[in-house]
Structure 1
Amino acid sequence: MNAPELMASHSSPEVPTPKKAVEVRQASVIYPAADKPVHALSNVDLTIQSGEFISLIGPSGCGKTTLLRVIADLEPITSGEVLVNGLTPQEARMARAYGYVFQAPALFPWRTVLGNVMLPLQLQNRQPEACKEIALEQLERVGLKGFEKKYPWQLSGGMQQRVSIARAMGFEPRILMMDEPFGALDEITRDNLNEQLQQLWQRERRTVVFVTHSIDEAVYLSTRIVVMSPRPGRILKIIDSTLPDERTLSMRDTPEFNALAHEVREALADGHAH
């Protein structure tokens, strides 16, 4: 894997300015409706630097997923501007600049685990040997070595979601977008996948934009937490994490973790009060 682009060279004393992975400026999304239009997002401003792990958190219907879909070119904006690696979302999508992990695994049941992970690489017309080699490497990264010949229906929900992550990482996207990928899983599986995702981010330092309803999940995973208001979705507060980059699940019992979780909870409560 390439070293993160924002890391300084060992030979140079200068620290380079981090690159902007995502820029959202005054973005609004309004859905037309029979009675009155629905304002999903209102004048959202957000800059995400390359290599950050950003969580979007807020009440149901606050526009978290809409914002993620706007960045991913799955949803048009009504007004404002969005740039992904300096390109429009459509240009970034065509350049395959990001991987997207949906709430449900969205795997093809007739393809094996290996076949599912190889698919985006095959669509890029990569050599068959290269497709297989990259897919096997990604499956090992998410702890699924030995499951290559299984079919999705033979796997648990957590394992299926890991296949989705391996598939999204396979073509080495610079940005990984994840829409509540662990929301439907039991707590033990979710903890396990949170830990694996944190370790994956440690190794790769790719930019991650992550939607969640869970305060603990947001605090455990993120370098910054973006708290959103009830509809119309606005950014209420951006909280910088004070936790070290390398984390373990045991940190959730520390005063520092609890203080961050309390700050997120307060921001969410303030949003509901207004």
Structure 2
Amino acid sequence: MAETIEESLRSMVEQVDEELYEVVVVDGGSTDGSRDILRELEAEFDNLRAVLDRSDECDWLGGDRNISFEESRGEYVLESLDTDDYYHEGVIEDFVEIFHALEAQVDRPFFLSGRGMNIAPRGLLLDVPYYDVGGAEDRDHWRRLYARDALIWLDHGHVSDSLGYDFDLRGEISRDIHGKITDFQSGVSFWSAIRWTLHHEHHYIFERPRSLPREVLKRLYDLATFPYAYLKSLPLERHEAPAEFQRKGALEARIAATRMTLPEMEAHYGFQVDCDEFSEAGRKAFCEYADT
């Protein structure tokens, strides 16, 4: 991450009010020079704080996120902002404004999930931390948040650009298999995964429909990789999923049924934000996305 971390962090810290926001960066034990860059940025920005002394406490992404929740001093936490992404000017504060407008209409703590940007009260994140379930801890986290009626999903356009961390085919397959392993660690039953493979329309969230030949290939691929992932999951720590999510496809169906664009969310919850006050990037990502 050394080649992207400075540009990424500058895109975050330089667009927010330093009196209202702190940027907490947890180093998970990097050896590529990232720690030196973090020290330099910490000296330059009063509201950037690098956590460099807790890398021996965990060696997984969700654990680093949990540490960031513990270290944060604010009432709310923006999380899952990646240091290999460049964030468009203004989108962070625009996203926060949407959250607080929605918060005024919702009578419970909730996690607002977006594309590459999430926000929740710090107390909720401490109560519902990430579990160590490999490389797809988000899926497990969503299940437990949904079970508490504490997840609201905002569908919107891109708020960032990748700084070079793109998956090739091997990376995509690895990520997919990690997701399958996580499903089984989280209590999804093996046979529900097989039934889902055979009978479900294979369109994941934000995924385009496939042609019939590609659909057949995808089903054959899943029939091969689900058993492999199940066997890989057996010696790993298990976390019982809420009963409603122990069937493969239940999470995907819940997300598809509940995610809303900003105009849909405003109509559903009875609030309105002033898009004219948003940044240009924020208007495009949040306000105009439904029209694209």
TM-score of the pair, normalised by structure 2: 0.27
* Structure number having the greater strand percentage: 1
TM-score of the pair, normalised by structure 1: 0.28
Q: Which gives a bigger RCO, structure 1 or 2 (Cα 8 Å, sep 6+)?
A: 1
